[in-house]
Structure 1
Amino acid sequence: MSRIPMPAALAALALPIACGAASAADTDSAALRARDHAAACTSCHGPQGRPPAGSPIPALAGRPQSELVAQMQAFKAGTRPATVMHQIARGYSDEQITAIAAWFAAVR
């Protein structure tokens, strides 16, 4: 039976743990970026995407991600009527739009 030297064995065990920690950190970092991008929406759509009662501006919180992405893509393409949303939507990449939509969809 061959034996693996102790430092090599520990390194082999640590690698999957380190990789898992890195992906968890990446996920946390992505969530923070999405939250930061979504914060820009709150000046019109209210805190956490909940505008004041009676506001003509729609709530974003809890809406399906696919619906939010479709609306933002329509604004970005100029196919949905808007006042300022065309310009705002064009400022985001498709990946950022998806992340922002996921963030608002998760708000309960």
Structure 2
Amino acid sequence: MSKIMKNWLYFGAALVCLATSAQAQTNAPDPMQVRSWAAGCSNCHGTNGRAESGNEALAGANKDDIVKKMMDFKAGRKPATIMHQLAKGYSDEQIVAIAGYFAAQKK
């Protein structure tokens, strides 16, 4: 293989790597979309996860704990009055994004 062909091959491989990297970065949900998903939790868990007494506050909670609870609700492993139904309406990726949103909020 000639040197020119090798250079083009390396250039092409670099373009593929860049395109893959850019695609991976754009797969992250839009922060405004995540905020919108999280707003659906405000009726019970308060604005930005700061709940009134009697409900569980989500603001500043551990992200992994929120994800585990939501996955347990979704799978029916954790008893609930309504959360098992609500959790089924979100994809696993949405649950992770929402948990990250609440974990980042101030208590």
User: Which TM-score applies when normalising by structure 1?
Assistant: 0.71
Amino-acid identity (%): 47
SS in 1 for 2:30: helix
* 1:45 paired residue number: 45
Cα distance between partner residues in 2 of 1:35 and 1:59 = 16
2:65 corresponds to 1:63: no
Structure 1: tracts of 5 or more residues without a match: 1-15
Q: Residue 70 of structure 2 aligns to which amino acid in structure 1?
A: M
Q: Residue 79 of structure 1 aligns to which amino acid in structure 2?
A: R
Q: 1:71 to 1:28 in 2, by over 3 A?
A: closer
The 4+ residue runs of structure 1 with deviation greater than 3 A are 26-29
* 2:9 paired residue number: none
Q: Is the 8 A contact 2:29 2:97 kept in 1?
A: no
Question: Deviation per CA, 1:34-64, whole angstroms, max 9, x where unpaired?
Answer: 1110000011101111112xx2210000001
Cα distance between partner residues in 1 of 2:85 and 2:95 = 13
Cα distance between partner residues in 2 of 1:96 and 1:36 = 11
Superposition deviation, residue 28 in structure 1: 8.6
Q: 1:67 to 1:29 in 2, by over 3 A?
A: closer
2:99 corresponds to 1:88: no
Aligned residue pairs total 85
Cα distance between partner residues in 1 of 2:57 and 2:41 = 10
Structure 2: tracts of 5 or more residues without a match: 1-17
Superposition deviation, residue 29 in structure 1: 5.7
